[in-house]
Structure 1
Amino acid sequence: MSVNLSKGSNFPLTRTEPGIASVVVGLGWTVHSGPGDIDLDASALVLGADGRVLSDQHFVFFNNRSTPENSVRHTGDNKTGHGGGDDEQLAVDFNLLPAQAESVVFVVSIHTEGNAAASTFGRVRDAYIRVVHQATGLEMCRFELTEDAHDQSAMVFGQLHRRDGEWKFRAVGQGYTTGLTGIAKEYGVNV
């Protein structure tokens, strides 16, 4: 049975499912009509204990679909946001993550052609992030974002983090007005 999380709360993945090797992180949303088309993109950053990306190749997004060791993989870019289920997914293999990896941050950003004023989460509804046990296909936890983010163009939806050898998922919901570039720079990616 899946657990619904509130902002800032944690779910103990490896304590709940000892021996879990991998998860799929699904992200979804609904885009309301407005001026210009918008494309939401999921990405992930693998961070060390210092809170910075291990390398530029540990920033996984639509143009870099996997880390060098294949520990985090983007399954593909949904450019329309239409259809049921997750709009985009990232697979995480705990056994392949480098030893120095302490967390994986999951971001959704908005890409637009032209009208930058229309490219905010003000047009996004029903946004969520969920963690699925890859071997069983069962949803373990979910966080539904409910805060108004009308002026923000990128958002950290959630984070996997390792504490005392155990992996947990944290519901974050932190918006940024600086877009994906701003988030990438904050975590040490050379852009």
Structure 2
Amino acid sequence: MLPEEAWQGLLIAFSFAGADADLTLFLTGTGGQVTCDEDFVFYNQPTAAQGAARLLGKQSDGPHTVERAALHLAALPAHIQRVTIAINMDVDTGLTCSALTHASLYTDCVTGAAWTFQPPADPDVRAMSVAEFYRHTTNGQQVWKLRAIGQGWADGLDGLARAHGVNVT
């Protein structure tokens, strides 16, 4: 269970090296599907839910590139039950996650609580759901929790987006 202070602001950082990759977020209902394409946060659509989920850009950090996102769980509309954090290889390169010589997903909040996930360098995967924030009811109270996922897609961003209900044309 996430501390309540975390609901007010989380910082997500995807650090990587070896090839270009992107951070993506899916704001979904309980079935894991977006209710509209606007609930898909990626490089061509960097914000959703009136700014409650937004990409902050990429920058160099020594030998790595870091792409950051901000997430304000308390500001998400009630129909958003999950926020899936995913990574995908640059679609133009055709590379798989095995091209990443370094990959780490780090999330922290104002309380100092932090969580780190190490996505595998899978040679058969071009995109991967790494972790998920989800609403849960405990003792009649709604809380947010975090879990690791690690599910990959060989067909990259297109397959990842379709699996979350995004209309890919």
What TM-score bracket applies, with the shorter chain setting the length?
0.7 to 0.9
Q: Which amino acid aligns with 2:145?
A: K
CA distance in structure 1 between the aligned counterparts of 2:85 and 2:65, rounded to whole angstroms: 14
Q: Which amino acid aligns with 1:123?
A: A
Kindly, what percent of the aligned residue pairs are identical?
26
- 1:156 corresponds, among 105, 120, 129, to 129
Bigger proportion of residues as strand: 2
CA distance in structure 2 between the aligned counterparts of 1:19 and 1:148, rounded to whole angstroms: 33
Partner of 1:73: 54
User: What displacement does 1:61 show?
Assistant: 0.6
Instruction: Report 1:5-84 matches (<5 A).
Output: 12-13=1-2, 17-20=3-6, 21-31=8-18, 38-78=19-59, 83=62
TM-score scaled by structure 1? 0.77
Q: Deviations over 1:64-116 (max 9, x none)?
A: 010042110000145xx663677111111012101011110111111154x53
| RMSD of aligned residue pairs (Cα, Å) | 2.0
Report 1 or 2 for greater relative contact order, CA contacts < 8 Å, sequence distance ≥ 6: 1
TM-score scaled by structure 2? 0.86
Partner of 1:5: none
User: What displacement does 1:152 show?
Assistant: 1.0
User: What displacement does 1:62 show?
Assistant: 0.7
Q: How many residues align structurally?
A: 163
Q: Which amino acid aligns with 1:71?
A: A
User: What displacement does 1:149 show?
Assistant: 0.5
Structure 1: state its 5+ residue gaps.
1-11, 32-37
Partner of 2:105: 129
Check conservation: 1:129, 1:143, Cα contact below 8 A.
Answer: yes
Structure 2: state its 5+ residue gaps.
none
CA distance in structure 1 between the aligned counterparts of 2:113 and 2:56, rounded to whole angstroms: 18
